């Protein structure tokens, strides 16, 4: 069953095919790395870019690629306290045989104290641990020593033509409205999905 735009936003993409543009490419590359990582080598991935470019969606697709998985934890940067990172450091002495995946949204929002401890944790992160961080800040706004611990990728918004095709392939009833929505939102996928849902809702009751 084809999801509505609203459902796609709420549930998030389930596969690489649900992504477009740079987010699609990044997710495919790191999904393949995760699938091939049978020895549990730690993964540290930092995705930066404008809101709506697909970095959070890509991080979620990559997180589903690890197997076996013990847990996947989502946390926002403002929730990452020094105490929390100290707990991660203590837990790094345990050697799990299943993946622990941590996704930190807006990692640029963490405090300076927490960042210092994060650097320590990243240096000792054990096997079968993955940390995937997203940031709305540009790479130039993140400290060099923080970036240097990660595979850092800047995710750009897709072209409006890509967004148009994405909308038309899934909801052909949008018709020419898909073009208007894609152009109006300048490649912002989330905003385009919201507008597509609004149009479909209005069409249903008109």
Say yes or no to pLDDT of 111 above 80. yes
Tokens representing residue 177 in the block: 């409205």
Q: pLDDT for 121-167, tens place per residue?
A: 999 999 999 999 999 877 666 767 778 889 999 999 999 999 999 99
d(CA 77, CA 81): 9
Tokens representing residue 201 in the block: 């809702």
pLDDT mean across residues, the chain: 91
Select from 3.40.50.720, 3.90.226.10, 3.40.50.300, 3.30.530.20 the CATH code of 21-154: 3.40.50.300
Model confidence at 14, pLDDT cuts 50, 70, 90, reads: confident
d(CA 206, CA 203): 5
Predicted confidence at residue 1, as pLDDT, reads: 57
Alpha helices in 101-188 (DSSP H): 112-124, 144-147, 160-170, 177-185
DSSP per-residue codes, 14-70: -SGGG--HHHHHHHHHHHHHHHH-TT---EEEEEE--TTSSHHHHHHHHHTT-SSEE
Paired strand residues for 101: 72, 130
For the chain, the domains span 1-18+158-206, 21-154
d(CA 56, CA 62): 10
In three-state secondary structure terms, 92 is: coil
Mean pLDDT computed over 109-118: 91
Predicted confidence at residue 134, as pLDDT, reads: 94
d(CA 153, CA 151): 7
CA 137, 58, 1, 178 torsion-angle sign: positive
CA dihedral 105, 111, 116, 121 (to 10 degrees): -40
Q: pLDDT for 157-194, tens place per residue?
A: 999 999 999 999 999 999 999 999 999 999 999 999 99
Say yes or no to pLDDT of 89 above 80. yes
pTM of the entire predicted model? 0.88
Helix/strand/coil percentages in the chain, nearest 5 = 55, 15, 30
Burial of 38 per CB tally in 10 Å (0-12, 13-18, 19+): exposed
């Amino acid at each position: 069953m084809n999801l509505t735009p609203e459902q796609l936003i709420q549930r998030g993409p389930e596969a690489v095919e649900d992504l477009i543009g740079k987010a699609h490419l990044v997710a495919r590359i790191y999904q393949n790395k995760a699938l091939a990582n049978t020895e549990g080598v730690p993964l540290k991935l930092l995705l930066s870019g404008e809101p709506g470019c697909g970095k959070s969606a890509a991080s979620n697709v990559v997180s589903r690629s690890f197997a076996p998985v013990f847990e996947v934890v989502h946390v926002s940067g403002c929730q990452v306290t020094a105490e929390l990172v100290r707990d991660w450091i203590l837990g790094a002495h345990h050697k799990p045989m299943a993946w622990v995946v941590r996704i930190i949204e807006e990692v640029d929002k963490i405090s300076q104290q927490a960042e210092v401890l994060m650097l320590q944790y990243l240096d000792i992160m054990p096997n079968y641990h993955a940390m995937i961080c997203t940031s709305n800040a540009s790479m130039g706004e993140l400290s060099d020593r923080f970036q240097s611990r990660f595979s850092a990728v800047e995710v750009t918004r897709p072209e409006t033509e890509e967004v148009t095709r994405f909308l038309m392939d899934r909801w052909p009833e949008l018709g020419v409205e898909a073009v208007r929505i894609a152009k109006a939102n300048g490649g912002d996928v989330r905003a385009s999905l919201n507008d597509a849902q609004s149009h479909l809702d209005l069409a249903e009751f008109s």
